[in-house]
Structure 1
Amino acid sequence: MRLLALAFLVAPVAAEAAGCRDTSFEGASYTLCEVTLGEDLRLFHSGPDGAYGSFRNVDAALGAEGKALGFAMNAGMYHRDLAPVGLYVEEGVETSAIVTSDGPGNFGLLPNGVFCIDDGFRVIESRTFKRDRPECRYATQSGPMLVIDGQLHPKLLPGSDSTYIRNGVGVSEDGKRAVFAISNDEVNFHSFARLFRDELGLFEALYFDGNISRLYAPALDRHDGGFPMGPIVGTVVPKD
């Protein structure tokens, strides 16, 4: 896995990012992007020339179809060659298998989980996912879980001094709403998890990554640049 630098750029506005807003929780700044059923939410990894690696490349590929990214963020950990760490499913095709063993790093801090997009939005603990094998049009595995059935991951420490820019996703109980969050200040896992549970009222939430976390939100004049990334999640909208 990798440690990547973060840069901030302003990109031309191609289409509005629906439901993105800035907020604060316990003195830390966050940006939230909310997606509801009926919006075209997808995962992106590779095109004909290999891994997209950036929001700009995904937006360009969609532009050839008369579409554009509405908003996007990195959506799971990846290896140096940009291959996903753990399960990855795009348009119903699995290109990377699920990993359920514990291990080093945040991904291996079990329980970890899978964000699944199909007829609803779900965050599912990885071993439960492997056992039940639900249908997902799109799926990405990451870890650790932040909130599990309303409870914080048991290994998250309130006073931890491990603070980074972090991003992740939480889903509503009825599966009709997914809220993507990125911190604009460095926060620890416990605080980030409580944002989803206590501030947003979401009882399942999954960590995507930290330090390299990035957001594309044209409506907020925001396009975070940096080194190439692996899986990307975002909405697809008509191109202006």
Structure 2
Amino acid sequence: MKRTLLALAPAMLILACGPKPEGEAVTTLEFGENGTKIVRNDNGTGEQVGVEAPPAGSNASACEKVTFEEIALTHCIADPALHQITTVLGDPYRGFAQLAKARKGADPAFAMNGCMFDAAGKPIGYYVERSERLKELSTADGPGNFHLKPNGVFYGSDGEWRIRATQSFLGNVSDRPKFGTQSGPMLLIDGKLHPEFSQDGPSRQIRNGVGVDGKGRAHFVIADAPVSFGKFARFFRDVANTPNALFLDGNVSSLWDPASGRMDTHAPLGPLIVVENK
């Protein structure tokens, strides 16, 4: 039986785990109007000093390590004013190292695994790369997370990025986007958690997902420790403020953040989502 979801009051994240010792400084994270991250340092007296991080660029990471409900996450923001998004089929890359070698002329801000895939690295759902549809939309029933409906599609063209549940996409999107990837389940649907999620269920995995906020920015999040679906979805609802968010995958979830030197290599990957600096 599902438990009632509890609304979370804080819209701010504590970057360090554990309670704040009396008289010591604490660092919190907020988001500025332009999408940059603002670090505020409490000097121990309650006085707050704000420092705004530089905007995304070749020398600045678009990703930030944060802690939410005692779970370590990495939160990356793609801004249409600063970035463009493309999808790349996993084969022949199957990982970020191969992708980096093949795209030496590009300026990647970050990349993540993009959806669920078969043993050959091919997507099991809708997939569009450079306006070419390589896999049709799937409305089939079946086992596994992909078929935990509603599932959904992350797609976009010319800096306009959206997430829709699969049936909504089927009924409302007639023009083929420049990129698109289908996965499941949806984490948030119009601001509400997926109906099958409990508040903090027993299934804990490394997970990643994407949500789009009211300003059109795409929030990519990867758990750095095992997390439940409910807790992961609440981050998108309560911190990223994305009305709709989509689970991308679990266990194989991986991030490449060139600015910080992070390149996850623990599993062969399928389709990739690449965020490039303009």
TM bucket, shorter chain:
0.7 to 0.9
Alignment match, 2:133: 94
Q: Give % identity.
A: 38
1:77–1:84 Cα contact (<8 Å) kept? yes
2:200–2:231 Cα contact (<8 Å) kept? no
| CA positional deviation for 1:193 | 0.3
Q: Map 1:1-240; keep pairs closer than 5 Å.
A: 15-16=58-59, 18-38=61-81, 39-45=83-89, 50-63=91-104, 66-119=105-158, 120-135=160-175, 136-174=177-215, 176-237=216-277
Distance 1:159 1:36 in 2: 30
1:164–1:186 Cα contact (<8 Å) kept? yes
| CA positional deviation for 1:237 | 4.0
Any stretches of 5+ residues in structure 1 without a counterpart?
1-14
1:59–1:68 Cα contact (<8 Å) kept? no
| CA positional deviation for 1:111 | 0.2
Q: Taking CA–CA contacts closer than 8 Å with sequence separation of 6 or more, which of the two structures ends up with the larger relative contact order?
A: 1
Distance 1:194 1:215 in 2: 21
Any stretches of 5+ residues in structure 2 without a counterpart?
1-57
Aligned to 2:120, the other structure's residue is in SS state coil
Aligned to 2:147, the other structure's residue is in SS state coil
Letter in 1 for 2:202: D
- Do the aligned partners of residues 159 and 20 (structure 1) sit closer, same or farther apart at CA in structure 2, a change above 3 Å counting? closer
Letter in 1 for 2:73: Y
> What CA deviation, in whole Å up to 9, does each residue of 1:139-187 have, x standing for no partner?
000000000000100001124110001000010134x200100011100
Aligned to 1:51, the other structure's residue is in SS state helix
1:73–1:213 Cα contact (<8 Å) kept? yes
Given the two structures, how large is their TM-score scaled by the length of structure 2? 0.75
Aligned to 1:225, the other structure's residue is in SS state coil
Residues paired across the two proteins, number: 218
Alignment match, 1:6: none
| CA positional deviation for 1:221 | 2.1
Distance 2:265 2:207 in 1: 15
Distance 2:197 2:253 in 1: 19
| CA positional deviation for 1:57 | 1.7
Alignment match, 1:7: none
| CA positional deviation for 1:134 | 4.2
Given the two structures, how large is their TM-score scaled by the length of structure 1? 0.86
Aligned to 2:234, the other structure's residue is in SS state helix
Letter in 2 for 1:95: L
